[in-house]
């Protein structure tokens, strides 16, 4: 049977995730297999938890990586905290807010959607209005919407939720490790993420953190959540001192996460956030110099993911196919109402490097020219360079 | 921060899982990261499904690896098929049968446990009696009980379930790839497994297969299962031709599974099953030559996992610690009622090699001698050699 793995090319991943992975993280995954109860593995688990807390910017004891992808993190955050009949306020301004609402619906919640135009953050005033409608268990917001590129401010939402007696749940899938999540400083009660975005670890784990209030809610819950696999009471006992057997941790994925997190902490969180900001500004300046229109107003953009309208007459799929096949660069198409109308360009983790911005802008310019829409590549590169000048230090 | 991964030693994994991983499978995991929608990844997904069907010995269209560990496979098998109020008959003869019952309970099922002594298979007559108690949705059995080392016959159970209008669900975590599961031939309706046992792939994925009847039950279900992440209707659309976006597949784990399955198919299923049988016989002969007592009668043992009583006066943990620290070999302690009283020795996948049996027997003999219980190592090696003679070909 054909070995398809041998033929895989190096690809620059500038889509909505996965991002490119550092070679040392790929190598970490191939470290010798040891048992999940081996004392050496237990030390790796503990170190990984320490690193996760640093990256979430939290002291939360209940901080751990769940054994599934980012969507498993979302499901864990919902099934552990949302009981049948609970009122849940969900920001609906993109694809992943909708998914949160769907998961809450499956738990039998009364879901109150705060409908907001795609490409704009949810307004605190609208959250307050929704919260005024009745006692609410949870406010759920997407911090960096992977479908739109919007960065959702969290402080005011946390304040509004807490005044109403609700907890704030934040989806940090496309922010953790690239954009400050600042769980403690912002008063986020529950947050989860994926590994394949700004952490530049392969997909397969879902870091999650809960503060003491949320942890207490898990402890105090009458009856078990319907999910045994994602039951935080059980998972926490496995990752905690007790090492109570629950499931077999995905050992090699934990190796990869451990190494990816060490790269984050070695770079320094502030330096890493600043790199993401600068690189995004370079990308934005380059795209605008090509006279392309960005979807989201600058002050509402997440640095990790940029959405740009596709020029009139340009075929979405044809450009992406050529970018991948000829230039070795992946970007993403859009979802839902924007399908075929916008591209999603990720600058996350290892992908968020100036050299990748230059390479991508040149490749995009080539593709647009090839399909009859010539743009100023020289101007784009110069604009990007100017915007990223601080990174040349 | 200390790099704990650099210091990891090569370890021979002869516990209840993970098993040792082939170097080519570890290398596969470090293949270049590409996008989960990249056409080259879609081909890898398709090939992986073909390989999974071969290993499950099935034509089932709905066959795929879930993005979680074996316990996620168990949860998917339960939440998709068990609705509130459904009657579910579960074989209770070990730890994992109890877990199945617990998961069914969380779905609001009426759980009818068929209590059976640990270390013995569930009797068909007992299943028939339980089935006679009322219309039953599902019979759930563990094919190879990782907690006891018992191999559960499935043909008669399938027949009994079908006559009663129920479906048969089999936990194949510790059998798939080492012991024939033969889903189609035996009439198993739903089966799931883990990757870190007889497939010798790292943990992190849960292969699952359903026949057309079970698939129809998923389609016909009124209302959604409480789990969105493990909803087979959605997951099947992602793995199917439609490629409907659900979650981001754990790309590098799929690489590893693809390679591990290719090794299985290249070896040939029959040859691989025979190797597992011979190696287990070698282990059993060696242990008995040391005058140790095996827990399970020979005709009820799974070749993939052997349970042996710990000799009087020997400290379970001290022996296992020495085996790991001095000899670089991991074996498992026992669970539940057997904790401290039995060891679990895995001969799964890459670990199921004659050289490992010799190495383990010698190491165990050394440890037992060290702790004041001398055994005949020479006799054990000779007995193992005789039992495994066929493998020297």
Of the candidates A11, A51, A248, the beta carbon closest to that of B34 is on A11
Interface test with A, best of B3, B11, B35, B266 (most A CBs within 10 A): B35
The pair of three-digit structure tokens given for residue B141, joined into one six-digit string: 């059995």
User: B349 CA to chain A: closest CA distance, Å?
Assistant: 14
The percent helix, strand, coil of chain B (3-state, each to 5) is: 45, 15, 40
Of the candidates A75, A253, A324, the beta carbon closest to that of B204 is on A253
The percent helix, strand, coil of chain A (3-state, each to 5) is: 45, 15, 40
CB contact under 8 A, B226 and A107: yes
Q: Is it the case that residue B102 has pLDDT exceeding 80?
A: yes
CB contact under 8 A, A5 and B255: yes
CB contact under 8 A, A75 and B255: no
User: B384 CA to chain A: closest CA distance, Å?
Assistant: 25
Q: Where do the DSSP E strands lie in A181-235?
A: 190-192, 206-210
The mean pLDDT value for B344-348 works out to 98
d(CA B193, CA B197): 9
pLDDT digits 0-9 by tens, A310-322:
999 999 999 999 9
B281 contacts: CB under 8 Å, gap ≥ 6: B303, B387, B388
pLDDT digits 0-9 by tens, B254-267:
999 999 999 999 99
Neighbours of A123 (CB within 10 A): 16
User: Residues for chain A: how many in total?
Assistant: 393
B111 touches B85 (CB < 8 A): no
Which residue reads 């009797």 in tokens? B123
Q: Which residues of chain A make contact with B32, given a CB cutoff of 8 A?
A: 8-11
User: B233 CA to chain A: closest CA distance, Å?
Assistant: 14
CB contact under 8 A, B13 and A35: yes
- pLDDT of res. A333: 98
What totals of helices (H) and strands (E) does chain B contain, helices first?
15, 12
d(CA A103, CA B231): 11
CB contact under 8 A, B251 and A13: no
Of B193, B103, B230, residue with least CA distance to A76 = B230
User: B28 CA to chain A: closest CA distance, Å?
Assistant: 7
Band (pLDDT 50/70/90 cuts) for residue B226 is very high
Q: Which residues of chain B make contact with A65, given a CB cutoff of 8 A?
A: none
B51 touches B368 (CB < 8 A): no
B188 touches B210 (CB < 8 A): no
pLDDT digits 0-9 by tens, B140-154:
999 999 999 999 999
Band (pLDDT 50/70/90 cuts) for residue B393 is confident
The pair of three-digit structure tokens given for residue A3, joined into one six-digit string: 């070995």
Of B56, B55, B69, residue with least CA distance to B18 = B69
User: B70 CA to chain A: closest CA distance, Å?
Assistant: 8
Band (pLDDT 50/70/90 cuts) for residue A146 is very high
Q: Which residues of chain B make contact with A251, given a CB cutoff of 8 A?
A: 18, 196, 202-204
Q: Which residues of chain A make contact with B22, given a CB cutoff of 8 A?
A: none
pLDDT digits 0-9 by tens, A72-81:
999 999 999 9
Interface test with A, best of B100, B204, B225, B325 (most A CBs within 10 A): B204
d(CA B365, CA B339): 21
Domain positions in chain B: 31-265, 269-392
- In the sheet that holds A332-333, the strands lie side by side as A305-309, A342-346, A332-333
Percentage of residues in chain B with pLDDT exceeding 70?
Answer: 100
CB contact under 8 A, B106 and A36: no
Interface test with A, best of B33, B202, B230 (most A CBs within 10 A): B33
Of all residues in chain B, the one with the smallest CA distance to A333 is: B37
Pairing of strands A190-192, A12-13: unpaired
Of all residues in chain B, the one with the smallest CA distance to A106 is: B226
The pair of three-digit structure tokens given for residue B111, joined into one six-digit string: 């759980």
The mean pLDDT value for A5-28 works out to 97
Q: Which residues of chain A make contact with B253, given a CB cutoff of 8 A?
A: 202, 204, 250, 252-253
Predicted complex ipTM: 0.97
pLDDT digits 0-9 by tens, A24-59:
999 999 999 999 999 999 999 999 999 999 999 999
Of all residues in chain B, the one with the smallest CA distance to A205 is: B250
- pLDDT of res. B9: 94
Q: Which residues of chain B make contact with A196, given a CB cutoff of 8 A?
A: 248, 251
Mean pLDDT of chain A: 97
What CATH number labels B269-392?
3.90.1150.10
Pairing of strands B167-171, A190-192: unpaired
User: A354 CA to chain B: closest CA distance, Å?
Assistant: 20
d(CA B200, CA B237): 28
What CATH number labels B31-265?
3.40.640.10
Of the candidates A72, A262, A324, the beta carbon closest to that of B229 is on A72
Q: Is it the case that residue B174 has pLDDT exceeding 90?
A: yes
Q: Count Cα atoms within 13 angstroms, Cβ side, for A111.
A: 20
CB contact under 8 A, B229 and A106: no
Of the candidates B17, B71, B250, the beta carbon closest to that of A204 is on B250
The pair of three-digit structure tokens given for residue B159, joined into one six-digit string: 């027949």
User: B125 CA to chain A: closest CA distance, Å?
Assistant: 30
User: A386 CA to chain B: closest CA distance, Å?
Assistant: 30
Centroid of chain to Cα A238: 25
B118 touches B300 (CB < 8 A): no
CB contact under 8 A, B202 and A252: yes
Q: Which residues of chain B make contact with A226, given a CB cutoff of 8 A?
A: 79, 106-107, 226-227
pLDDT digits 0-9 by tens, A244-282:
999 999 999 999 999 999 999 999 999 999 999 999 999
- pLDDT of res. A90: 98
Contacts across the A-B interface (CB distance below 8 Å): 232
Return the ∠ at Cα A196 (arms to A49 and B26), rounded to 5°: 80
The pair of three-digit structure tokens given for residue B281, joined into one six-digit string: 């016989």
Of all residues in chain B, the one with the smallest CA distance to A324 is: B38
Annotated binding residue A43: no
d(CA B362, CA B368): 10
The pair of three-digit structure tokens given for residue B300, joined into one six-digit string: 């009820």
B146 touches B95 (CB < 8 A): yes
Mean pLDDT of chain B: 97
Of the candidates B17, B224, B246, the beta carbon closest to that of A106 is on B224
CB contact under 8 A, B8 and A27: no
Q: Which residues of chain A make contact with B65, given a CB cutoff of 8 A?
A: none
CB contact under 8 A, B67 and A69: yes
The mean pLDDT value for A119-123 works out to 98
User: Residues for chain B: how many in total?
Assistant: 393
Q: CB-based burial of residue A117 (10 Å sphere; 0-12 exposed, 13-18 middle, 19+ buried)? A: exposed
A227 touches B104 (CB < 8 A): no
Q: CB-based burial of residue A54 (10 Å sphere; 0-12 exposed, 13-18 middle, 19+ buried)? A: middle
Q: Is it the case that residue A393 has pLDDT exceeding 90?
A: no
Of the candidates B18, B247, B324, the beta carbon closest to that of A69 is on B247
A175 touches A151 (CB < 8 A): yes
- pLDDT of res. A248: 96
Please provide the DSSP assignment of B325-389 as one string.
HHH-EE-EE--GGGTTTEEEEE--GGG--HHHHHHHHHHHHHHHHHTT----HHHHHHHHHHHTH
B278 touches B390 (CB < 8 A): yes
The pair of three-digit structure tokens given for residue A353, joined into one six-digit string: 């490097």
Query: Any idea of the CA torsion for B262, B23, A19, A16, to the nearest 10 degrees?
Result: 20
B185 touches B57 (CB < 8 A): yes
pLDDT digits 0-9 by tens, A328-383:
999 999 999 999 999 999 999 999 999 999 999 999 999 999 999 999 999 999 99
Q: Which residues of chain B make contact with A33, given a CB cutoff of 8 A?
A: 11, 13, 18, 20-21, 26, 202
Band (pLDDT 50/70/90 cuts) for residue B246 is very high
d(CA B26, CA B24): 5
User: A344 CA to chain B: closest CA distance, Å?
Assistant: 13
Band (pLDDT 50/70/90 cuts) for residue A1 is confident
d(CA A28, CA A234): 28
Pairing of strands A206-210, A190-192: antiparallel
d(CA A53, CA A62): 9
Say which CATH topology domain A268-392 has.
3.90.1150
Of B287, B304, B312, B288, residue with least CA distance to B363 = B287
Q: Which residues of chain A make contact with B18, given a CB cutoff of 8 A?
A: 33, 35-36, 248, 251
Q: Which residues of chain B make contact with A29, given a CB cutoff of 8 A?
A: 26, 29-30, 252
A150 touches A91 (CB < 8 A): no
CB contact under 8 A, A32 and B9: yes
Q: Which residues of chain B make contact with A5, given a CB cutoff of 8 A?
A: 28, 31, 44, 255, 258-259
The mean pLDDT value for A115-135 works out to 98
Four-residue CA torsion sign, B282, B286, B291, B296: negative
The pair of three-digit structure tokens given for residue B42, joined into one six-digit string: 């879609």
Which of B131-169 are b and which e, b meaning 16 or more Cβ less than 10 Å from the residue's Cβ?
A: beeeebbbbbbbbbbbbbbbbbebeebbbbbeebebbbb
The pair of three-digit structure tokens given for residue A102, joined into one six-digit string: 């769907």
Q: Which residues of chain B make contact with A30, given a CB cutoff of 8 A?
A: 26-27, 29-30
- Give me the residues paired with residue A208 across strands: A64, A192
Of the candidates A1, A43, A68, the beta carbon closest to that of B262 is on A1
- pLDDT of res. B1: 86
């Amino acid at each position: 049977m054909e070995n398809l793995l041998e033929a895989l090319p190096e690809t620059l991943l500038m889509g909505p995730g996965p991002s490119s992975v550092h070679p040392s993280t790929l190598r970490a995954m191939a470290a010798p297999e040891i048992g999940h109860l081996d004392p050496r593995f237990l030390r790796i688990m503990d170190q990984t938890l320490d690193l996760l807390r640093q990256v979430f910017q939290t002291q939360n004891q209940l901080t751990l990586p769940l054994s599934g992808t980012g969507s498993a993190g979302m499901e864990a955050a919902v099934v552990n905290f949302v009981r049948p009949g609970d009122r849940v306020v969900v920001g609906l301004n993109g694809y992943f807010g909708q998914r949160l609402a769907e998961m809450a619906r499956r738990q039998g919640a009364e879901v109150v959607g705060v409908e907001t135009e795609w490409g704009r953050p949810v307004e605190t005033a609208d959250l307050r209005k929704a919260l005024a409608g009745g006692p609410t268990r949870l406010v759920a917001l997407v911090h960096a919407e992977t479908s739109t590129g919007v960065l959702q401010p969290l402080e005011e939402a946390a304040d509004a939720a807490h005044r109403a007696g609700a907890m704030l749940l934040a989806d940090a899938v496309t922010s953790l490790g690239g954009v400050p999540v600042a769980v403690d400083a912002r008063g986020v009660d529950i947050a989860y993420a994926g590994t394949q975005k700004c952490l530049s670890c392969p997909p397969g784990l879902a870091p999650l953190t809960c503060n003491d209030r949320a942890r207490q809610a898990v402890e105090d819950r009458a009856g078990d959540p319907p999910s045994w696999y994602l039951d935080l009471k059980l998972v926490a006992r496995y990752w905690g001192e007790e090492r109570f057997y629950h499931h077999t941790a995905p050992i090699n994925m934990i190796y990869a996460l451990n190494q990816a997190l060490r790269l984050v902490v070695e770079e320094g969180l502030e330096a890493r956030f600043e790199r993401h900001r600068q690189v995004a500004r370079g990308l934005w300046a380059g795209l605008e110099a090509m006279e392309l229109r960005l979807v989201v107003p600058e002050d509402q953009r997440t640095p990790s993911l940029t959405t740009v309208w596709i020029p009139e007459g340009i075929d979405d799929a044809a450009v992406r196919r050529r970018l991948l096949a000829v230039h070795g660069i992946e970007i993403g198409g859009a979802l839902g109402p924007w399908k075929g109308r916008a591209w999603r360009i990720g600058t996350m983790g290892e992908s968020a490097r100036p050299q990748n911005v230059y390479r991508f802008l040149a490749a995009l310019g080539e593709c647009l020219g090839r399909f009859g829409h010539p743009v100023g590549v020289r101007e784009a590169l110069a604009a990007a360079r100017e915007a990223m000048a601080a990174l040349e230090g």
